[in-house]
Amino acid sequence: MFVYADHAATTEMSPVAIEKMTDALKTVWGNPSSLHTVGQEAKVVLEKAREEIAAVLGAEPREITFTSGGSESDNQAILSAVALGAAKGKKHIVSTKFEHHAVLHTLQKLEKQGYEVTYLDVHQNGIVAAEDVAAAIRPDTALVTVMFANNEIGTIQPVREIGAVCRQAGVLFHTDAVQAVGHLPINVRDDNIDLLSLSAHKFHGPKGIGVLYARRGVRLSSLIEGGAQERGKRAGTENIPAIVGMAAALTEAAENMEANTAKVTAMREKLIRGLRGIPYAHLNGDRTRRVPGTVNFCFEGIEGESLLLLLDAKGISASSGSACTSGSLDPSHVLLALGLPHEVAHGSLRLSIDETNTDAEVDYMIRSVEEVVSYLRRMSPVWEDLENGKRKHFFAEYESEEK
Amino acid sequence: MLYSEKVMDHFQNPRNVGKMDDADGIGEVGNAKCGDIMKMYIKVSNGVITDVKFNTFGCGSAIASSSMATEMIKGKPIDEALQLTNKAVAEALDGLPPHKMHCSVLAEEAVRAAVKDYYDKNGIAYNPEDFRENSCAHCHE
């Protein structure tokens, strides 16, 4: 059986999006900056896609800037807010310990340039408290940046509350919503969001295209200088086919969100119940406040990369936060932020499903993970020590369902 | 692909995997914090390693390196087994990715640790300088 369970990494393109995109490749090849008819026809298509995307987010079309994806949007959002703050002498940023590296690395670079960053705790359940944000804001705070949903463990942050706190304090609020858009209902007005990043390939759109939403009045700084495209905030001839594909995929995701959420949540619950049947397994992140499809577990006594490779041999595509899969020596900063020790964080597994998965696939995944975990434990000296009491277990043998 | 076919073969079908109840020497190296621990068991008769087993907690290349190392020392005189280098293990696996070379270092050290344990248990003299562990240095920088 082949099971793709890495939708948080990327998704297969929607057939509707492929059709619209290939159609645009063939027929909409004009440069929207050209004044002639071919160019202006392309401009019409571009602006229609912008309107579609704005409508889904509850934004105005002029608040939508097309970028190359989530990373670029995160970079531009942060650097823009920082530039606006610097003009008023504000050099402090509030964020969290478990942001995506597109945010964290940008913040680390700013720290070297003399900015100060407060990284908020995400607690054991992987959720930032809005009160913590309120307490961290200072008179010199230029920006609060907190992700909408975490990419590794799937926990949803109280974005609306955090946004309200920021509004009251008069501080800009950015959210990296790459894992949320297309999967959770988002309205930038109701959710008090000033800046939002999204990436098309996380909701069955094409890769290499994304959006930076910036509320009217929030002046963006450009990262790429050149032409006057995107109101002068992002130079470079627009990738119209990709933009059309993104708009189609987002519209489709929004239309089907309710049905997809019901289906995916039911499968996720079954997956969680099944994997909890494995002894000394632990669900990472809040039990219920999570995106429909993302499940992240730690299994004591084993290492994540070998787990991944053996699951791959069984036809299952998954992901892990182990050091060996990241190419670094430390396990995932997200799992460490939850307070897990290194040796436990090495044994993590992320399964991210969506509406294209089936119940039978969920059963197969549970069975396969059980088999592989017990196989690896049989050859693990760490598991041997856990069994004979030389090492202490970190988790309970079985987690209670209500937790 | 991240790994060579040989690495995948030794990872998916590890040789000499398991524990040994009557081992003459047991070596354990690595650190759970770093994500890999290797435990190697040897049986020695007349200065020859007649049997060897391993248990490993770690990534694909750590398991493959242990498996390959056991094959390379099984049936060999101890003196010869001590000549085993991490490079030889990596080469026998048709190479390892640069950030996985420490797995082969761990395999070399697991062999040496098992031999050292055998020496200790049998009162055989050796130069401690020959049995230093370095593989975990990277974790504690």
| Domains, chain A, ordered by start | 15-255 (3.40.640.10), 257-381 (3.90.1150.10)
ipTM of predicted complex: 0.93
Contacts of B99 in chain A (CB under 8 A): 327
For B32-115, where are the E strands, in sequence order?
36-45, 48-57
Q: pLDDT tens digit string along B33-87? A: 888 999 999 999 999 999 999 999 999 999 999 999 999 999 999 999 999 999 9
Confidence band, pLDDT 50/70/90 cuts, at residue A324: low
A199, exposed or middle or buried, with CB in 10 Å at 0-12, 13-18, 19+?
buried
Interface test with B, best of A312, A382, A384, A394 (most B CBs within 10 A): A382
Residue A331 has its nearest CB partner, among B28, B35, B61, at: B35
pLDDT higher than 60, residue B104: yes
Most A CBs within 10 Å, among B59, B63, B100, B139, to test the A interface: B59
pLDDT tens, residue by residue, B109-135: 999 999 999 999 999 999 888 887 665
* Section A74-93 average pLDDT: 97
Q: How far apart are CA A35 and CA A73, in angstroms?
A: 28
Q: What is the dihedral of CA A151, A155, A159, A162, to 10 degrees?
A: -110
Look up tokens 């690896």; give the residue: A376
Contacts of A402 (CB under 8 A, 6+ apart): none
Q: Do A343 and B32 meet the contact criterion of CB atoms below 8 Å apart?
A: yes
Query: Do A195 and A80 meet the contact criterion of CB atoms below 8 Å apart?
Result: yes
pLDDT the model gives residue B1: 76
More confident residue, B129 or A319: A319
Give the residue among A376, A248, A246 at the shortest CA–CA distance from A303: A376
Residue A403 confidence (pLDDT) above 60: no
Q: Which amino acid is at A134?
A: A
Q: B39, B64, B115: which is closest to A381 by C-alpha?
A: B39
- Provide the β-strand partners of residue A117: A93
Q: Would you place residue A231 in the very low, low, confident or very high pLDDT band (cuts 50, 70, 90)?
A: very high
C-beta of residue A13 within 8 angstroms of C-beta of residue A204: yes
Q: Would you state the pLDDT for residue B140?
A: 42
The residue assigned the tokens 């049986």 is B43
Per-chain mean pLDDT for chain A? 96
Instruction: Please list every residue in chain B whose beta carbon sits closer than 8 Å to the beta carbon of residue A323.
Output: 34-35
pTM for this predicted structure: 0.94
Q: Over 60: is that where the pLDDT of B137 sits?
A: no
Q: How confident is the model at residue A330 (pLDDT cuts 50, 70, 90)?
A: confident
pLDDT given for residue A111 in this prediction: 98
What confidence tier does A207 reach under pLDDT thresholds 50, 70, 90? very high
Nearest Cα to B16, choosing from B107, B79, B138, B141? B107
Residue B133's pLDDT is: 66
Instruction: Provide the greatest CA pair distance for chain A.
Output: 78
Confirm whether A324 is a catalytic residue.
yes
- In this prediction, residue B33 carries a pLDDT of 86
- What single-letter DSSP state applies at residue A330? S
* Residue from A242, A233, A209 nearest A28 by CA: A242
CATH 3.90.1010.10 fits B5-122, yes or no: yes
